[in-house]
């Protein structure tokens, strides 16, 4: 009798274990990223610029839709911003490849990594805030525009040879490239000098910035799977126009940039690092007397979203790069003067426009996952590979007050 009761108890226990083993994995609790508030704007205004950038047909892509973000596994980066540097292919402390939080919960559930609806604002509700330095006698009023197209040839990758040299996917977000046709994470001065270009007049410089995506649409590029793992999903938009304009200095003449000068602007980690190196400027065509740093603009019908990316232009006269990619070339003071020990070189201004829906969450910038696609993280990179004669021509145009 005892034996029969013991067997019955064993059968009952095994039944409980079997039922428990069939419980779905999704019943386990999933973790989510906590929302991160965008910091106060790092910049209040921008100098003058063209409202109608060249190199566009005004017919950029547009559509609407919501999206869920893809899986990702990404770490951090140190405070010099951008995509961060590395040593001999290994990440330094806080490097962007150094592991991190996964963007999917248990059972494959995709978690939100931004942006949020309150990251968008109607540009008509923004008061004019652009302050322009006054030109004085001796300032350089001209400009030179390098015409390099809108990346119609689809040159994309998630590399950054300036801050993450020798590493594939060193940026963890996709860049648009114009100019040099060979640019990737393994580019060198020599490889860039030997490559072809999309620019006129033999400008082999490389110009790149993070892509803007239409959320809810499919990414059909070859790197779509990697982008999804990094939390960047949606159809990559071809800009309606791209202007690469080199400007003068309101207080002095400019001197030539050295060949292979490397320059970055903005901070891809501005949410994490704070706004100290943020240089994002978002506005709409027809509203360039006002800019936003930490919000995306919603533009009225007939107006395009505009990104303005101004580069530092006060060079130390000696170095083409520096350890943090910033100290060898800095921004002018508020009045336009270059700090002591530096000299003015042509200032690159990228102006990029898009036709997008004027709806919150319809579009977003590629970013590191922990940056939540915040608009304040906008940034760009440039290496000067112009022939010396073309740089001299650009300097003459700028100093003589001509627009070339």
| pLDDT tens sequence across 168-178 | 999 999 999 99
Going through 73-119 in order, the beta strands assigned E by DSSP cover: 73-74, 86-87, 90-91, 101-102
> Residue written as tokens 């990758």?
157
Whether pLDDT at 360 is above 70 = yes
> Quick one: pLDDT band at residue 112, thresholds 50, 70, 90?
low
DSSP H or E run through 383: strand 379-383
Burial class (CB in 10 A: 0-12, 13-18, 19+), 396: middle
Write down the pLDDT at residue 87: 35
> Quick one: pLDDT band at residue 89, thresholds 50, 70, 90?
very low
> Quick one: pLDDT band at residue 39, thresholds 50, 70, 90?
very low
The 10 Å CB-count burial string (b at 16+, else e) for 234-253 is bbbbbbbbbbbbbbbbbbbe
Going through 211-310 in order, the beta strands assigned E by DSSP cover: 212-214, 235-236, 241-247, 262-266, 282-284, 296-298, 305-310
Helices (H), 70-118: none
Q: Which residues pair with 347 in a beta bridge?
A: 247
Q: What is the mean pLDDT of residues 222-240?
A: 95
Structure tokens at 303: 């107006």
Nearest one of 318, 307, 347, 320 to 331, comparing CA atoms = 347
> Quick one: pLDDT band at residue 93, thresholds 50, 70, 90?
very low
**Higher-pLDDT residue of 54, 318:** 318
Question: From the CB of residue 358, how many other CB atoms can be counted at a distance below 10 Å?
Answer: 19
Q: Which stretch of 30-44, 353-367, 373-387 has the lowest confidence by average pLDDT?
A: 30-44
> Quick one: pLDDT band at residue 62, thresholds 50, 70, 90?
very low
Write down the pLDDT at residue 369: 86
> Residue written as tokens 């071809």?
238
**Higher-pLDDT residue of 108, 165:** 165
Whether pLDDT at 353 is above 60 = yes
Q: What is the mean pLDDT of residues 150-167?
A: 96
DSSP H or E run through 225: helix 224-229
Going through 215-275 in order, the beta strands assigned E by DSSP cover: 235-236, 241-247, 262-266
Query: Do residues 214 and 237 touch, judged by C-beta distance below 8 A?
Result: yes
Q: Where are the domains of the chain?
A: 50-399
DSSP H or E run through 18: helix 2-21
Q: Enumerate residues 6+ apart whose C-beta is below 8 A from 2.
A: none
217-225 contact pairs (CB < 8 A, 24+): 217/63, 217/65, 217/67, 221/154, 221/156, 221/174, 223/156, 223/157, 223/158, 223/174
Structure tokens at 290: 């006002």
Write down the pLDDT at residue 113: 85
Write down the pLDDT at residue 132: 86
Percent of the chain at pLDDT exceeding 90: 69
Q: What's the rounded Cα separation, in Å, for the pair 387 and 391?
A: 7
Query: Do residues 381 and 264 touch, judged by C-beta distance below 8 A?
Result: yes
Query: Do residues 208 and 175 touch, judged by C-beta distance below 8 A?
Result: yes
Whether pLDDT at 143 is above 90 = yes
Q: Are strands 120-122 and 296-298 parallel, antiparallel or unpaired?
A: parallel
Q: How many residues does the chain have?
A: 404
Going through 151-277 in order, the beta strands assigned E by DSSP cover: 156-157, 175-179, 206-210, 212-214, 235-236, 241-247, 262-266
Q: Which residues pair with 296 in a beta bridge?
A: 120
Query: Do residues 70 and 233 touch, judged by C-beta distance below 8 A?
Result: yes
> Quick one: pLDDT band at residue 377, thresholds 50, 70, 90?
very high
> Residue written as tokens 């800095």?
330
Whether pLDDT at 361 is above 80 = yes
Write down the pLDDT at residue 386: 98
State the distance between the two ends of the chain, measured CA to CA, in whole angstroms.
104
Whether pLDDT at 298 is above 90 = yes
Whether pLDDT at 396 is above 60 = yes
> Residue written as tokens 């001209």?
142
């Amino acid at each position: 009798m005892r034996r029969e009761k013991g067997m019955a108890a064993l059968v009952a226990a095994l039944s409980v274990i079997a039922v428990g083993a069939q419980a779905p994995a999704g019943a386990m609790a999933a973790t989510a990223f906590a929302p991160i508030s965008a910091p106060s704007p790092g910049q209040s205004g921008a100098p003058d610029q063209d409202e109608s950038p060249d190199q566009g047909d005004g017919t950029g892509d547009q559509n609407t839709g919501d999206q869920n973000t893809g899986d990702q596994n990404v770490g951090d980066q140190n405070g010099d911003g951008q995509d961060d540097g590395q040593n001999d292919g290994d990440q330094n402390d806080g490097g962007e490849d150094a592991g991190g939080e996964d963007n999917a919960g248990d059972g494959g559930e995709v978690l939100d990594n931004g942006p949020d609806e309150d990251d968008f604002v109607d540009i008509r509700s923004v008061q004019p805030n652009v302050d322009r330095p006054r030109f004085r006698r001796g300032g350089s009023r001209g400009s030179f525009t390098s015409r390099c197209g809108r990346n119609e040839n689809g040159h994309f990758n998630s590399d950054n040879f300036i801050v993450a040299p020798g590493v594939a996917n060193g940026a963890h977000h996709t860049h648009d490239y114009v100019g040099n046709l060979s640019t990737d994470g393994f580019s060198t001065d020599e490889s860039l000098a030997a490559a072809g270009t999309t620019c006129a007049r033999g400008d082999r410089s490389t110009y790149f910035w993070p892509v803007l995506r239409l959320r809810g649409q499919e990414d059909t590029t070859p790197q779509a799977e990697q982008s999804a793992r990094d939390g960047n999903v949606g159809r990559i938009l071809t800009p309606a126009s791209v202007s690469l304009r080199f400007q003068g200095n309101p207080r002095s003449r400019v001197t030539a940039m050295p060949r292979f000068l490397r320059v970055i602007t903005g901070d891809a980690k501005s949410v994490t690092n704070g706004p100290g190196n943020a240089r994002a400027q978002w506005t709409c065509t027809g509203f360039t007397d006002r800019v936003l740093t930490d919000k995306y603009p919603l533009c009225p019908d007939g107006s395009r979203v505009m990104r303005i990316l101004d580069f530092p232009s006060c060079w130390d006269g000696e170095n083409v790069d520096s350890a943090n990619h910033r100290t060898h070339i800095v921004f002018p003071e508020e009045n336009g003067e270059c700090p002591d020990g530096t000299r003015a070189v042509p200032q690159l201004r990228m102006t990029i426009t898009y036709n997008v829906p004027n709806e919150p969450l319809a579009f977003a910038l590629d970013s590191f996952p922990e940056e939540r696609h915040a608009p304040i993280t906008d940034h760009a990179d440039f290496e000067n590979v112009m022939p010396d004669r073309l740089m001299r021509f650009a300097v003459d145009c700028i100093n003589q007050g001509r627009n070339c």
